[in-house]
Structure 1
């Protein structure tokens, strides 16, 4: 990526997206999108440009991207960090549950990817990066719909990479990490779970910082020959 590029982060209100914005603000113009506008204020105080929006309103995305480009110029990176999880057996998944998961986890990034593919939106050396999950490769009971949506996201990355060259499309697939989303399921991800994860992770459990480090590498010129790939970031837990 060129010095002082323009990075758009979708889902920047917490977790990976928020920390990534903090890191990119050191040498990029950064545009941030999230539904919870108050969560973006600390980033704005450091120089980010906020675009509060609900990206599940799919028809609004083309204009939203156009506004981002008008404000800060063509993108050199678009990182899709937004996502949600439902921990439910398939027999209890409602139509609304399925629709919400697929809209945020797969349909919205697909629309963003379509916008990114335009030369009016992204620079020639730009990078599209999506946050997937190891669940895409290792679905488990209770997260089947979530895993399927993330598998679709991984396929989006590999297919997009074939269409948009020399622009690149990449992704990261974190294992379990301690974020606001996973903390909401503390009855499942308890101390015993954390202990098992630590024992099963040869390099130690993944963290928000380790995922952000990987994304920053993938956005950098050092990764210029990497496209269409999803990099697993799980401390070796899935080996």
Structure 2
């Protein structure tokens, strides 16, 4: 086991599945103790003596405050916060209700604010800390039908910069990661739901200069670096991890 996060205590929202599970895995491998905060229990293979599950509904402010307090009490403090949990749906502005918009902003943007607010005092007591917010390449551009999702992720990017500016003097850093297409159960279901899933899969691969799709642990590796002292002079940035997808200009095909 490596030790870049030895002695560090982390809270990861949605740390039991998808990208969050990849981050949890890498944090544990690097020596951190992790509190996985989400609404449903993770699978047994994720929870162990270094990774515990704490229930919270991130739409409820009291659940958020209680989860942060429980994580700090369980492990004796808090050094790292990873705001990973989020939701997505496909609705245009015409199709969306005000309630739809509010739900997206509550989970994707308000929850990271409340988690950060609750975590800051614990980080100050430890002499500093690192906050890693999971944004998206859709905070930089957008797929069709994603006005609320893109707005929420652009907000995450802006929020990350502002937290970095306000709290850098306290030794608290804040960065955002903007993943592209990352393999997960949900993304696999999405591909298989297509009429010609083989063609969709081939075209997805062609969109990525590296010739493959991302894995949750790819994001986890970047999150480890941003949480560790190796990135001590890095704050307020949005780190795109997309296999080069957003840098490849599309060409017409016959």
Q: What is the rounded CA distance, in whole Å, between the counterparts of 1:2 and 1:125 in structure 2? A: 14
Give distance in 2, aligned partners of 1:96 and 1:179. 27
Determine the C-alpha separation between the residues in 2 that align with 1:47 and 1:222.
22
User: What are the within-5 Å matches in structure 2 for residues 118-197 of structure 1?
Assistant: 118-119=121-122, 123-165=126-168, 166-186=171-191, 187=193, 190-197=197-204
Structure 1's 224 and 190: CA in aligned 2 closer, same or farther, altered over 3 A? farther
User: Is the contact between residue 26 and residue 221 of structure 2 (CA under 8 Å) also seen in structure 1?
Assistant: no
Runs of 5+ in structure 2 lacking a partner? 248-254
Unmatched segments (≥5 aa) in structure 1: none
8 Å Cα contact 2:161/2:236 also seen in 1: yes
Q: 1:99 aligns with which of 87, 98, 102?
A: 102
Alignment partners' CA distance in 1, 2:106 and 2:189: 21
Q: Distance in 1 between matches of 2:151 and 2:240?
A: 17
Q: Answer yes or no: is the 8 Å Cα contact 2:22–2:219 preserved in 1.
A: no
> Are the aligned partners of 2:37 and 2:55 in contact in 1 as well (CA < 8 Å)?
yes
**Runs of 4 or more consecutive aligned structure 1 residues displaced over 4 Å after TM superposition:** 119-122
- The aligned residue for residue 251 of structure 2 is none
Which deviates more from structure 2 when the two are superposed, residues 223-232 or residues 62-71? 62-71
Normalising by structure 1, what TM-score?
Answer: 0.91
Tell me if structure 1 keeps the 8 A contact 2:132–2:176. Answer: yes
The answer to whether the 8 Å contact 1:34/1:40 transfers is: no
C-alpha contact (below 8 Å) 1:6/1:30 kept by paired residues? yes
Q: Displacement, 1:184?
A: 4.3
Structure 1 match to 2:120: 117
Matched residue SS, 1:169: strand
Partners of 1:2 and 1:206 in 2: CA distance:
23
User: Could you say which residue in structure 2 is the equivalent of 1:29?
Assistant: 33
User: 1:195-234 to 2 correspondence within 5 Å?
Assistant: 195-204=202-211, 205-234=213-242
Aligned length: 238
How far does residue 60 in structure 1 lie from its aligned partner after superposition? 2.6
SS of 1:43 mapped into structure 2: coil
Q: How do 1:80-99 residues align onto structure 2 when only pairs under 5 Å count?
A: 80-99=83-102
Residue in 2 that maps onto 1:8: 11
Ranked by relative contact order (alpha carbons within 8 Å, sequence separation 6 or more), the top structure is 2
Residue 65 to residue 73, structure 1, CA distance change in 2 (3 Å): same
Tell me the secondary structure at the aligned position of residue 6 of structure 2: coil
CA RMSD after TM alignment? 2.0
C-alpha deviations, 1:49-90, integer Å up to 9, x for none?
221111111233222211211111221111111011101222
1:71/1:119 CA distance change after superposition, 3 Å: closer
Q: Max radius of gyration: which structure? A: 2
Asked if the contact 1:81/1:130 (under 8 Å) is kept, the reply is yes
Pairwise mapping of residues 35-74 of structure 1 onto structure 2 (< 5 A)? 35-37=39-41, 39-74=42-77
